[in-house]
Amino acid sequence: MTTAKSAPSCFSAYPLEDYRAHREDIQQAVQRVLERGHYILGSEVAAFEQEFASFVGVAHSIGVANGTDAIELLLRALEINGGSSVAVPSQTAVASVSAVVRAGAAPLFVDVDPVTFTMLPESLEQAIHSPIGRQLKAVLAVALYGHPADMDGLRRLCDEHNLILLEDCAQSHGATYHGTSVGSIGRGAAFSFYPTKNLGAIGDGGSVVTNDTALAEKVRWLRQYGWRERYISDFEGINSRLDELQAAILRVKLPLLAAKNKRRRSLAAIYEKGLSNLPIQTPVSRPCCEHAYHLYVIRVKQRDALMKYLTSRNIPAARHYPAAAHQQRAYAFFAQRSPPLPNTEALVPEILSLPLHPYLAEDEVEYTVDVIRQFFA
């Protein structure tokens, strides 16, 4: 039987540790904004938009209030609304689905790959050929937990059936697919800067990115009351602006993102090695992809018992998510029209997120591994 080491003093709190690590730079950035006195859509947002677009490798980035709005604004700018459907994996943060509904479209749930947890092209094909498939206008590929979806497979279907391929990159800042940054593959993409994300603000924030100049322009109008000219609404827009303080903080953190993702990958490698030969499915990173390891999600049949065992030993394990979107009362209605979702339904009771963030110490990961091995001994 393996003997677990004693528990490390604490599993460092993220994102607080991220603030502490860059406290001085963040405080200077905040001070700069406060003293400038221009708090909405000023030079910090403009500079961050350029820097983030260049990080993703696209022509345009538009700062918005959060990642949910980013998806909604993309769909609204593309006029994907009443009577249209958007294919979306049911295994995602519910925000992906709520944004589709808020845009006025209907989600068509699609199943996921049982290993990468991302949209399965075969299931999308089933959805396309279903009675409601004719209403499909777009496909929202979610790089869940930080792993890109099979973008070649999805693109082939989108091209064949005249569908717009969009990306939800809320969990995958810095992930790559065939060497290309996620967010630059579809017609447009949405990012979230929620504080726990790989690139997180100290509050809410989001971005729409695209190479399509007309689309970018329309998102810019829609994020601010549909104004093309100040006070003149040409479109029915909303108020969804990234604010100057968050943009200034994100500018401090963006240059550090690649190193933080590298740290996430090296901690993930410790888990992978330590958990080998156990009845656990650990995350894979497909050869074409660089995983951003936003979350480290394992699959295990004894999920609930293991979660209890870990939390009783002060290891913060969690379920992302306790229910898939089609299993939630608010969105169950749309499930009636969707193809079968057997992979999603099988994985929901088995997924468990182990602690992972760049400030975690190696011995915290090793302790978690030891406790899991002890559980199975």
Ligand X SMILES: Cc1ncc(COP(=O)(O)O)c(C=O)c1O
Query: Where does this chain bind ligand X (CB under 6 A)?
Result: 66-68, 92-93, 95-96, 142, 168, 170-171, 192, 194, 204, 206
CB of 230 to ligand X, least distance (A): 27
Q: How far apart are CA 57 and CA 34, in angstroms?
A: 31
Pick the closer one to ligand X by CB: 85 or 171. 171
Contact in structure between 323 and 87 (CB atoms under 8 Å)? no
Which residue carries 């968050």 as its tokens? 246
Q: How far is the CB of 293 from ligand X (least distance, A)?
A: 14
CB neighbour list of residue 33: distance below 8 Å, 6 or more residues apart? 39, 42, 44, 244, 245, 248
Which is closer to ligand X, CB of 61 or CB of 68? 68
Rounded (10°) angle between helices 23-36 and 244-253:
150
Nearer Cβ to ligand X, position 280 or 324? 324
Strand 176-177's sheet: what is its strand order? 180-181, 176-177, 289-290
Answer left, alpha or beta for residue 238, where phi above 0 means left and psi between -120 and 50 means alpha: beta
- Decide whether 168 or 370 has the Cβ nearer to ligand X: 168
Task: Tell the residue number behind the tokens 């929202």, with chain if given.
Answer: 140
Which of residues 133 and 188 has its CB atom nearest to ligand X in the complex?
A: 188
The residue (of 70 and 360) whose beta carbon lies closer to ligand X is 70
Shortest distance in whole angstroms from residue 103 CB to ligand X: 13
328, 316 Cβ separation under 8 angstroms = no
Question: Are the beta carbons of 118 and 124 closer than 8 angstroms?
Answer: no
Shortest distance in whole angstroms from residue 277 CB to ligand X: 32
| Alpha-carbon span 373 to 377, nearest angstrom | 6
Least distance in angstroms from the C-beta of 5 to ligand X: 32
Residue 324 CB, shortest distance to ligand X, in Å, is: 13
| Distance separating the N- and C-terminal Cα atoms of the chain | 6
Task: Tell me the closest approach of the beta carbon of residue 204 to ligand X, in angstroms.
Answer: 6
Nearer to ligand X, 98 or 370 (CB): 98
By beta-carbon distance, which residue lies closest to ligand X? 67
In sign, the C-alpha dihedral spanning 97, 98, 100, 101 is: positive
Which residues, 6+ apart, have CB-to-CB distance to 357 below 8 Å? 12, 14, 15, 17, 196, 264
**Separation CA 360–CA 366 (nearest Å):** 11
Cβ proximity to ligand X, 205 vs 237, nearer residue: 205
Q: Which CB atom, from 241 or from 371, has the smaller least distance to ligand X?
A: 241
Query: How far apart are the C-alpha atoms of 76 and 105, rounded to whole Å?
Result: 9
Q: How far is the CB of 21 from ligand X (least distance, A)?
A: 22
Q: 19-25: long-range contacts (C-beta < 8 A, 24 or more apart)? A: 19/202, 21/359, 22/252, 22/253, 22/256, 25/252
Q: What's the closest the beta carbon of residue 233 comes to ligand X, in angstroms?
A: 24
